[in-house]
Amino acid sequence: MSQTIEIELSEDVFLAMQKDPKDLAKEMRLAAAVKWYELGLLSQGKAAEVAGLSRAEFINGLSRFKVSPFQETAEEILENLEE
């Protein structure tokens, strides 16, 4: 089951972003998914679903926002290897 949410924005937002409503909605979905992934609230798969993208497309989208596709730091990876 899916649900729709509605967000009201002034025309100035569309002008500032230089996007029509459909493209801005896609951009907002991706931005939200990237941030939630970055915060560790969503897995890559779930974040891709929120963004309406495949997982590979989402990983490519992460680079646009300069977010690493890896949720563990280098130190955490090394610690896990030592265990």
Q: What pLDDT score was predicted for residue 71?
A: 82
Distance CA 80, CA 75 (A): 9
Exposure on the CB side of residue 62, measured as CA atoms within 13 A:
20
- Say yes or no to pLDDT of 82 above 90: no
Could you report the per-residue pLDDT of 27-77, keeping only the tens digit for each?
999 999 999 999 999 999 999 999 999 999 999 999 999 999 988 777 877
Rounded-to-10 torsion of CA 61, 49, 4, 34: -40
Q: Answer whether 34's CB lies under 8 Å from 44's CB.
A: no
Could you report the per-residue pLDDT of 5-18, keeping only the tens digit for each?
999 999 999 999 99
Where do we find the tokens 């009201």?
8
Indicate the domain borders of the chain: 11-82
Q: What pLDDT score was predicted for residue 75?
A: 81
